[in-house]
Structures are given as C-alpha cells and as structure tokens.
Amino acid sequence: MAFGAFANSGPDLSAAAPRRRSYVAIILLAPGVVYLLATFVAPLVSLVLTSFKEPGGDFEVGEYVYAFRWENYAEAIGRFGEIFLRTFGYSLLATILALLISYPLAYFIGVTLRRFPLWQSLVLILVIAPFFISFLLRTLAWKAIFADEGPVVSFLQAIGILGPEDYLNGTAFTVIFGLTYNYIPFMTLPIYTSLERLDLRYVEAGGDLYAGPAQRFWRIILPLSLPGVVSGTLLTFIPASGDYVNASKDFLGSTNTVMAGNVINDMFFQSFYPLSAAVSILLMIAILIPVVAYVARSGSEDLL
C-alpha cells in the first residue's frame, strides 16, 4: 500500500490472481525487471563498492582499489554533516513553498476552470511552458534578475527592505527561490490530476452536512486529493535534495549555500571518487528515511 500514492488506487489484483497466470506475469514483468537491474541496481552496487575504496598502490590522485574503508563515511559525515542538514532544510522549505503555491493553482485549473475546457488547457500549458526553455538558461535568467545591480535588488533597496550593501544572489533566499520555481510544475501536475477527478458532489454533501468552507477543504477536498499531494511532494522533494544547479555558485548560490549535490559534484571532479560515492549513498539514505516514513503515513488508512 505504501506506494499506492503513485497509482490510481485500483483494486489489488495480485493476491487474487490465479496461480496459472503467474507464468504470463513473469514474462510481462521481465523487461521491467531487466531495466531496473541495468539502470538502478547495477549502478547502485558499483556506487556502494566505490564508496569503500581506498587510495591505490602508487598513491597517485584518482587511483583507487577495492577495499573496505568505512572511514570514507566517517569523513563524509564529519566534513559535510552541516551540508546535509542544509540540503534537507532547503529542500523541505522549497517543497512546502511549492505546495502552497501549487495547490491553489491546481485547484483553480482542475476545479474552477472545469466548465471552461479551453481555458483549462491554456493555463495548463502555461504551467508546463517553462519546460520549453532550458532549465540552465531559466536559472541563469533568475541570476540576472536578482543581480546586485539588477531590478529586484535596486527596487528592494529603494523601498528600504534591503540595505545599500545588501544583495540577494548567493543567499539562501535565491537558492530556495530557484528550487521552488524549478520544481513547481512537478508539484502542480499531480495535484491537478487528482483535483480534476474530484467529484464535487462530495463537497456539496459536506456543505449539506453543516461543514463550512474550511471544514469542506480539510475533511473532503484535501483528503480526496491526497494522492496527488503525496506524488507532488515526492517529485519535488527528492530531486530538490539532489539538485546541484540552483545552489551552485555559478547560478543562484555561493559557498554559503552548498548543498549535498554540489559536494558530490565537486568531490567527483576533484577525483575523490570514494568520498563522492559515500556522500551520494548518505544522501540517498537521508532522503529515503523521511520519504518512506511520509509515504507509509499517507498510505495508512487513518491519516485523517
């Protein structure tokens, strides 16, 4: 049930399927299994092996041999512990912000615009439109907008919100802004899909049973669109916590906003492969724990 959040909760047929069919099922599943083995399991095994490697015999930079050097992990946690926390904090904030922006937007498209299918498609295209421009270019454009001499900073300085020496680029603000901005479509689309199917007769029934607008939202609309919210938050949180573009100093970040993705990137290009691999594994575990807890909770029967 845990990952039911991703599926259109259909009936669980697997348990009831007669034994005879399992043979067909295996054949049908084979391509998927092969694909998973090739693209997920194999790199993962390689990554784990790399993360325990130690420097090779000649002690040249970039030469490593297979070993069991668990100190790589100790080093990763010791040196980058703070960065892990920051990564988690930034991604979480970006996810929450994206949710707060996306839900009303998705509601507007999926419910309010229901009677105007043409407008519905148009606004939906607008949500996806940013994808037509390269992710890197869009992020660079924001860097220009937030530049020290740029319009936003000048304006905020003029009205006194920012001091004359203050700036935006390279701060937590711009990084979280970039993350939120870049992942909003991933949040909006699954929520839209859920809300578009929402049967408004349930909402009417709620009104008939003395629920005011707030109660109708919390007790009926939100629970019924929860699958979309769960998929959307996962599709935002997971890639955001691995993101290394927004927080990079070439884009919206600085040395003060380094995220785990940047560390992996930097260590890799400086040829510290085992350390880079260890950070990757740690990041994966660090993401997996809250995600599994979240999915398990939202998939459980008595969430609300």
* Long-range contacts of residues 42-51, Cβ cutoff 8 Å, at least 24 apart: 47/277, 47/280, 47/281, 48/277, 48/281, 50/273, 50/274, 50/277, 51/274, 51/277, 51/278, 51/280, 51/281
Residue from the set 201, 255, 269, 285 that interacts with other proteins by CB under 8 A: 201
Contact 120, 113 (CB under 8 A): yes
Asked whether position 205 contacts other proteins by CB under 8 A, the answer is yes
| 160/212 with CB nearer other proteins | 212
Q: Which stretch binds other proteins (CB under 8 A): 134-142, 189-197, 201-209, 252-260?
A: 201-209
d(CA 209, CA 211): 6
CB atoms within 10 A of CB 103: 22
Quick one: how far is CA 27 from the chain centroid? 33
Under rule CB under 8 A, which residues in 2-61 are in contact with other proteins? Answer: none
- Measured from the CB of residue 46, what is the shortest distance to other proteins in angstroms? 43
Residue from the set 219, 239, 268, 286 that interacts with other proteins by CB under 8 A: 219
- Measured from the CB of residue 227, what is the shortest distance to other proteins in angstroms? 10
The token pair that represents 195 in the structure block: 């809300």
Q: Which stretch binds other proteins (CB under 8 A): 44-52, 171-179, 211-219, 285-293?
A: 211-219
Site track 170-199 with other proteins (rule: CB under 8 A), x = hit: -----------------------------x
Which residues make up the interface to other proteins (CB under 8 A)?
199, 201-202, 204-212, 215, 219-220, 223-224, 304
